[in-house]
Amino acid sequence: MNRRCLTLAAALLAPTVSSAQPVPADLTALPAVPSGYTLKTEWGDPDLRATYTLDNINLGHIVFQRPAEFGGRVWQTDAEFAKRLEAARKSDAAYSAENTQGSKGLEAWMRAEPFARRTSMLVSPADGKLPPLKPEAEALRKAGRSSWVAGQAYDWLDDFDTWDRCITRGFPASMLPFRYNNGIRVFQAPGFVVIHFEMLGDRIIPLRQGEHWPQAVRSWMGSSLGHWEGNTLVVETTNINIGDGATHDVWRRAASPLNVATQGVPANNAIPVSAQARVVERFTRTGPGALVYELSYSDPEVFTAPWTARITWTRDDGYEFYEYACHEGNMAIRNNILATRADRRKAAASAEGADAP
């Protein structure tokens, strides 16, 4: 069903992967994204075309929400980063072509890419943590149903989310690192940018000013409109699919905006989405081997405040995509339902035995 991608190609990790600014002296400061790198397409747009991987974010243990130990710091201290480098050396030493227990070149990437010293992907709010959910949304999150919920009974398809069912990871979750299959390819044509995911789906982004779809028209990836601000692609997305059109039922059928493979995100991946959800993304190529991706998310019916994440995509032209044959051989839905029924039969038989004279 899946291909686990836990090794990094050596070419990916050359010291030229990024031309981003160095870590500032003030470890609580977040400098602006460098925008001076210029590479143009044949028709004159900034050129984002490449194959990128987000595997290094997972391998480097850069988490989504900032652990409390870092306080308000966006960056690690030298001593903290030394421990991260040591873990990377051990991972590199464990690498072999026959297994996926170690990385290849992770230390080199960390030394070359300032993002490797970040304390979290979240950069706003200032504490690096998701804003609290509103009470109704929090109640829905806790009631969310998916295969990630421990101890849950499964009776039918609506007990599983859209990732369980091989439909989508949702948006903007598809733009963020996951446990595996973290490849992203960017294609461009005059008037369009296309983003192809290694796992489940694509996005077609028209480059024009104009109106989003009518409110009643929705899709899993939403309605995206892009434009250029200098060398940065800015994309606004609305009309994200919310199931039946109301916040209160989306979690039964839609992937969360935040199913990322990092600590601090609710375990059942069931953060609700409302019709007010809006995403603004900024894509900036900072050098021949790196693209800085910034995502600002607001949903006033769900979150008490907006939040922003900023990560670096690393170019890897040698990263191979294979068919993500999710439906074929996906026995998880059937097996979970059958296991629930078997548990109930066992419990019924035990109860019957206990009641016997």
Would you list the domain boundaries of the chain? 35-57+123-333
At residue 101, does pLDDT exceed 80? no
Work out the end-to-end distance of the chain between its first and last CA atoms, rounded to an integer number of angstroms.
Answer: 49
- 259: which 2 tokens? 């199913």
Selected residue with higher pLDDT from 160 and 125: 125
pTM: 0.87
Given a cut of 80, is residue 66 above it in pLDDT? yes
Alpha-carbon 184 to chain mean position: 11
pLDDT at 268 over 80: no
- The answer, yes or no, to whether residue 246 has pLDDT greater than 90, is no
- pLDDT over 70 at 80, yes or no: yes
Map residue 13 onto helix, strand or coil.
helix
Among 202, 192, 207, 182, which Cα is nearest to 313's?
Answer: 182
pLDDT reading at 11 higher than 60: no
pLDDT at 57 over 90: no
In this structure, the number of other CB atoms found within 10 A of the CB of residue 84 comes to: 17
pLDDT-above-90 percentage for the chain? 52
Top mean pLDDT of 130-139, 249-258, 266-275, 281-290 is at 281-290
> Mean pLDDT across the chain, nearest whole number?
84
Contact 273, 250 (CB under 8 A): yes
- Is the per-residue pLDDT at 319 higher than 60? yes
Q: What is the reported pLDDT for 142?
A: 79
Q: How far apart are CA 164 and CA 157, in angstroms?
A: 9
Looking at the chain, the whole-number percentage of residues with pLDDT higher than 70 is: 85
Quote the radius of gyration of the chain (alpha carbons, Å). Answer: 22
Give the residue, 282 or 211, on which the prediction is more confident. 282
Confidence of residue 67 (pLDDT cuts 50, 70, 90): very high
Q: How confident is the model at residue 265 (pLDDT cuts 50, 70, 90)?
A: low
Show the tokens assigned to 162: 């859209």
Beta-carbon contacts of residue 178 (< 8 Å; ≥ 6 apart)? 54, 169, 199, 259, 260, 261
Torsion of CA 86, 82, 4, 273, to 10 degrees: 150
Residues 6+ apart with CB under 8 A from 214: none
What is the spatial distance between Cα 300 and Cα 51, in angstroms, rounded to a whole number?
34
Give the strand pairing for 223-229 and 202-206. Answer: unpaired
In this structure, what DSSP letter does residue 311 have?
E
Residue for token pair 């790196």 = 290
Give the number of residues written for the chain.
Answer: 357
Quote the CA–CA distance of 80 and 101 in Å, as a whole number: 23
Pick from 13, 8, 11, 16: which is nearest to 287 by CA?
Answer: 16
Which residue in the block uniquely carries the two structure tokens 């981003």?
Answer: 20
Q: Are 20 and 294 in contact (CB under 8 A)?
A: no
The per-residue pLDDT for 58 is 81
The Cα 301–Cα 324 span in angstroms is 34
